[in-house]
Structure 1
Amino acid sequence: MPQPTVVLVHGAFADASTYAPVTKALLDEGISVLAPAVPNCSLLGDAREVRFVVEQLDGPVLLVGHSYGGAVITVAGAADNVVGLVYLAGYALDEGESLAELQGGFPDSELPAALVQTEVPASVAGEARVDVTVTPERFGPVIGADVDPELIATLAVSQRPLAAAAFVEAAPVAAWRSKPAWAVVAADDHAINPDVQRFGYRRAGANTTEINSSHLVTLSHPLEIAALISAALSEVTV
């Protein structure tokens, strides 16, 4: 099998720049990488977008999802050319399960209390919807306490909102049921309860690593994440 392309799927309240140091490390190794923009408008819509990107690529794909991106790759990973999944401080949903249902089985993190809802009228962007962001003053403590404060200040005021509807949409498929999976638990995560991560990964049979990191593990521990992705690549490239 040729070496797969690594497709990096970002999470909520962020864009592909949160993968920047990981992307550079992978490119420096000669690994083919693509980090598409995710609309963050709905779980099913976002998964369709990512699956479309994946299916346009020649050859196999290793899908990597951070945070909400984990839920997206769980669905998009059903594409035939996806050969493996890597979850980074993310949601490994089961078939028929939503983000709200998975989180509901565990104590809340600090994230729900830090969220702000904004009504987006139909005249602005298609159908009316409610978008969710993190209040800027809580972005650092909740999302990236171990990331450079100047970078966090920039990320806090350049968030890509997540549509509130994404929390209640059920995953129609769980790609980990038929694809190998690797995962990272961010053990000092204040956005997604680490036990939510552990439960989903254990259920998925993922090869799991724990890193003492905030939610933004891609920025605080990029070389460790790149090494894990590289190791997963070596296992699916046979």
Structure 2
Amino acid sequence: MKLNAFVFAGIACGALFGTALSLAKDQSVAPSAPIKNVVLVHGLFADGSSWQKVIPLLQTKGLRVTAVQNPTTSLQADVAAVKRVLAQQDGPTLLVAHSYGGMVISQAGDDPKVAGLVYVAARAPDAGEDYSALTKKFPPAPASAGLQWSDDGYGKLSEQTFINDFAGDLPKSEAETYYAVQQPMGRAITMAKTTVAAWRDKPTWYVVSTEDRTINSDLERFMANRMHAHTIEVKASHIVLISHPTEVADLILEATNAQK
């Protein structure tokens, strides 16, 4: 009996050791798995073309890049659009968002494929937080005064506001090109609240636009600090991804190469 008990205990210990070793190997491999997929999420008053200068900089480094075309009708619809794209990714994925898109990736970023989050002059509310109330703790951004609503409940920035306050550091001709593809937003977005804050559980990076006239720069710093993000500051308007694509792409590349 003693011998049998001893043998049994040895077998049990060996099995446990083997399981533990297997788990340890799995855990050592998973964090170092390379991130080859990048999903880009645009903000309000824009579409996927706002990433057109960043995309080739990432593709030349061998990354598989997808720009989501958000309907910007509601937060739920935009999150669904991102999740459809995430479902098509073949491994660890970096989610990157500009402006309002930060709310979208905060909600969608709990997907197990998401290895990290990059916020580019972006909203990053906590779960259940009233983003509009949060903005009121800081001086108002000038662009908000130029928001115009149609009778059917869709909002756009006036041309003057778009050129001067949204895209203020672009040559006027280039700003007018982006104004021409401005996508209206649904009124439901103004009342939307995230129920998830994926930045609490995933590694994060943040680009602060120091000359931002659409989101207060100090609000951006507050959100970046709160999430303990790896942060850079760029002297740029709100559309830093267009006016300074190299700096934005470099931070995205840093995030894909970081130890997870």
Partners of 2:243 and 2:99 in 1: CA distance = 14
Query: Which of 215, 225, 231 does residue 248 from structure 2 map onto?
Result: 225
Aligned to 1:137: 160
Q: 1:164 aligned to 2:196?
A: no
Would you say how many aligned residue pairs link Structure 1 and Structure 2? 228
Q: 1:112 aligned to 2:144?
A: yes
Aligned to 1:62: 94
Aligned to 2:68: 36
Counterpart code for 2:37:
T
Aligned to 1:177: 200
CA positional deviation for 1:220: 0.7
Partners of 2:243 and 2:178 in 1: CA distance = 14
Aligned to 2:235: 212
Q: 1:96 aligned to 2:128?
A: yes
Q: 1:187 aligned to 2:219?
A: no
Aligned to 2:58: 26
Query: Which of 152, 177, 185 does residue 154 from structure 1 map onto?
Result: 177
Aligned to 1:124: none
CA positional deviation for 1:51: 1.7
TM-score by length of 2: 0.85
Aligned to 1:126: none
Identity %: 39
User: Which runs of no fewer than 5 residues in structure 2 stay unpaired?
Assistant: 1-32
Cα contact 2:146–2:157 (8 A) shared by 1: yes
Partners of 1:219 and 1:169 in 2: CA distance = 27
User: Which runs of no fewer than 5 residues in structure 1 stay unpaired?
Assistant: 121-129
CA positional deviation for 1:36: 1.4
Partners of 1:38 and 1:119 in 2: CA distance = 22
Cα contact 2:34–2:256 (8 A) shared by 1: no
Partners of 1:181 and 1:46 in 2: CA distance = 21
**3-state secondary structure, aligned to 1:35:** strand
Counterpart code for 1:86:
V
Partners of 1:231 and 1:216 in 2: CA distance = 20
Structure number, greater radius of gyration: 2
Moved more, 227-236 or 49-58: 49-58
Q: After the TM superposition, list the runs of 4 or more consecutive aligned residues in structure 1 that deviate by more than 6 angstroms.
A: none
Counterpart code for 1:199:
F
**3-state secondary structure, aligned to 1:145:** coil
The structure in which a higher percent of residues are helix is 2
Partners of 2:171 and 2:63 in 1: CA distance = 27
Q: Give the structure, 1 or 2, with the largest relative contact order (CA under 8 Å, sep 6 or more).
A: 1
Partners of 1:132 and 1:205 in 2: CA distance = 33
Query: Which of 216, 224, 233 does residue 201 from structure 1 map onto?
Result: 224
Partners of 1:27 and 1:197 in 2: CA distance = 28
